[in-house]
Amino acid sequence: MTEINIHGMLTNYDKKNLTIATVCSHSSLQIFNGARKEGFKTLGIAVGEKRKYYDAFPLGKPDEFLIVKNYKEILKHTDELQEKNAIVIPHGSFVEYLGAENFLKLDLPTFGNRNVLMWESNRDKERIWLEGAGLTMPREIKDPHDIDKPVIVKYHGAKGGKGFFIAKTYDEFKRRLEKGKPFVIQEFVLGTRYYLHYFYSPIQDNAYKLSKGSLQLLSMDRRDETTIDEVQRLGSIAELEELGIHPTFVVTGNIPIVMRESLLPKVFKMGEAVVEKSLKLFDGIIGSFCLETVVTEDLEFKVFEISARIVAGTNPYSFGSPYSEFIQPDLSTGRRIAQEIKYAAKKNQLDKILT
Ligand code: AMP
């Protein structure tokens, strides 16, 4: 649990003069652009030299930069950021670069519920949460001798699919496994991948209603992963594996996608269940989250991961998606976050969405 007194900090904040701050990476162009559209000042935290490439994107550039030598140094600048009434928008890279422990003790109001981190970063807890919500996850194989179908082996703490591998037999598993690294083995789910981008507001009732607040579906993407997504250009995976060329799952980009409309009720039911369960387990997830799913040929969803904050898969939709267009034109996830902060500030409810 975080022990920082965000509540106290917020009482000293000038609510009419807030600054939206994030680390310059991941989805920051979209976050700054969305905040700007909602009338906020913006601040980009960058390591080393000012990120020159922002000059090429004036509408996605922060109003000012805080340059630090390394990400851990952010912790030394929190007073300065508090003086600017800064609200931090965490994204995957932000949490990764700062480190989970430092992120939890970051002395700044942060969008979302920071306590979700221990539920998503620990695979056992994640399973308790998602299966407890009634979602189907890929089967876990506890004993590698039981491998009788293709499996995906995931090392703990591996980021962006790096180092994951597929094995079809126990022998193959044994040959490929790097010793000394903790791992889990999951059934490799065959189907099509959809990464669903939700937004949960605990304070607004103007969307798909839940026991408290409401849920939106803002967009969905498919990740572009190298080399698995292109490796077939060179031959079948089996052929290549014989040559010692193994597919990898490193994310290089994101592809926009829509789903057959008849599946949307299931999408909302899953999102609803995840939020309701989170309310019971840890005071609730807040704001953006993403369910990473595979849809099987029986049109069943298998959920292999949850990300509890803005994901880079929302980046194809800086100017809205085929779903957010039905909520409001030009609505990105970054902008939706800014709107939530604006609404909460106006209603004196910032403590309900910031931790
Ligand atoms: P993750 O780091 O868990 O998001 O996984 C990285 C990538 O591995 C995903 O984007 C999928 O392409 C693939 N993947 C992960 N888990 C599974 C699974 N159980 N079945 C099939 N593919 C998976």
Residue 129 lies in a domain: no
Domain check: are 182 and 239 in the same one?
A: yes
**CATH number of 77's domain:** 3.40.50.20
Helix, strand or coil, per DSSP, at residue 116: helix
The last residue of a domain, from among 85, 110, 135: 110
Residue 303 lies in a domain: no
Domain check: are 22 and 85 in the same one?
A: yes
**CA–centroid distance, residue 328 to ligand 1 (Å):** 32
Question: Quick check: CB of 189 below 6 Å from ligand 1?
Answer: yes
**Residue with CA nearest ligand 1 atom 1:** 161
Question: Quick check: CB of 254 below 6 Å from ligand 1?
Answer: no
Banded model confidence at residue 238, pLDDT cuts 50, 70, 90: confident
Residue 19 lies in a domain: yes
Domain check: are 157 and 237 in the same one?
A: yes
Domain check: are 152 and 53 in the same one?
A: no
For 190-216, write each residue's pLDDT tens digit: 999 999 999 999 999 999 999 999 999
Domain check: are 100 and 156 in the same one?
A: no
Q: Which residues contact 58 (CB under 8 A, 6 or more apart)?
A: none
User: What's residue 208's pLDDT?
Assistant: 98
Domain check: are 53 and 152 in the same one?
A: no
Of residues 49 and 72, the one with the higher pLDDT is 72
Residue 41 lies in a domain: yes
Residue 241 clears pLDDT 90, i.e. is over it: no
Domain check: are 13 and 84 in the same one?
A: yes
Residue 9 lies in a domain: yes
Domain check: are 101 and 172 in the same one?
A: no
Q: What DSSP string runs through 227-292? A: ETTTGGGGS-HHHHHHTT----EEEEEEEE----GGGHHHHHHHHHHHHHHHHHHHS---EEEEEE
Residue 297 lies in a domain: no
pTM above 0.85, yes or no: yes
Domain check: are 105 and 36 in the same one?
A: yes
**How far is 160 from 152, CA to CA, in rounded Å?**
14
Among 110, 94, 120, residue whose Cα is nearest residue 26: 94
Q: Residue 56: which domain range? A: 1-110
Domain check: are 103 and 162 in the same one?
A: no
The owner of tokens 């926009």 is 256
Ligand 1 atom with minimal separation from the 223 CA: 10
% pLDDT > 70, the chain: 98
**How far is 217 from 180, CA to CA, in rounded Å?**
40
User: What's residue 160's pLDDT?
Assistant: 65
Domain check: are 6 and 60 in the same one?
A: yes
**How far is 53 from 41, CA to CA, in rounded Å?**
20
**Residue with CA nearest ligand 1 atom 19:** 188
Banded model confidence at residue 244, pLDDT cuts 50, 70, 90: confident
Check: CB of residue 47 under 8 Å from CB of residue 74. Answer: no
If one counts the domains in the chain, the total is: 2
Residue 197 lies in a domain: no
Domain check: are 19 and 86 in the same one?
A: yes
User: What's residue 163's pLDDT?
Assistant: 80
